[in-house]
Amino acid sequence: MELRGLQKKPIWLWWGIERSTHRIVAWALGDRGTATARVIGQQLTNAQHVQYCTDQHKPYCAILPRMRHTQSKAHTHHIESMNNKLRCYLARLRRKTHAYSKSAKALLHSILFVWKRKFAAPLQPQTGSIVSPRVWDDSIKIPI
C-alpha cells in the first residue's frame, strides 16, 4: 500500500498476514524494490507447509520459494480489505488528500497504533532496523 509523504518520494507499507487468523506476521516500510522485499522476507517463516499468495509484483519472486508461491489477485482479497480499513482509520493514508505525514516516524507510530487498537494485532517483536535513504529528506531507521 502506498503511503504518501511529499508528492515525489512515496513510502510503501509492505505487510503480510496469516490468512486464517488475519494476524500480522511481517511488515516493513520502504520503497517498492527488492531490498524492502528482503526485509519482509526475513520475517516470514520457512515452514514447508506454508503457502504464500501475492499479487504480480516482481520483488516477491526474489524472496519467496517458487513451489510455495501463488501469484494471483484472487488470493489477496483479505489483505486488500485490511488495506482499505487502514486507510479508513488513518486519514494520512488516503490517496491524494491533504492529510499526509511529513514525518516517517509519526507515520510508523500511527500505523502501529491502529494495528494494535483496531486490528488487535499481536505484533511480532522487531529484530533490528534498516536505514531507508529514500524516505522524504532524511534517512530514518525502520524497525524490522
| pLDDT tens-place string over residues 93-125 | 665 555 556 677 777 778 877 887 777 776 655
Q: Rounded to the nearest 5 degrees, what angle is found at the Cα of 104, between the Cα atoms of 98 and 109?
A: 100
In 3-state terms, what secondary structure has residue 60? helix
Span 17-40, average pLDDT: 85
In 3-state terms, what secondary structure has residue 93? helix
Residue pair 42/16 in contact (Cβ under 8 Å)? The answer is no
Q: 3-state SS of the chain: helix, strand, coil percent to 5?
A: 35, 20, 45
Q: Which residues of 84-121 are buried (b: 16+ CB within 10 A; e: fewer)?
A: eebeeebebbeeeeeebbeebeebbebbeebbeeebeb
Its pTM stands at: 0.68
Q: Please, which residues have CB within 8 angstroms of residue 58's CB and are 6 or more apart in sequence?
A: none
Residue pair 59/41 in contact (Cβ under 8 Å)? The answer is no
- CA atoms of 140 and 103, how far apart (whole Å): 10
22 pLDDT band, cuts 50/70/90, is confident
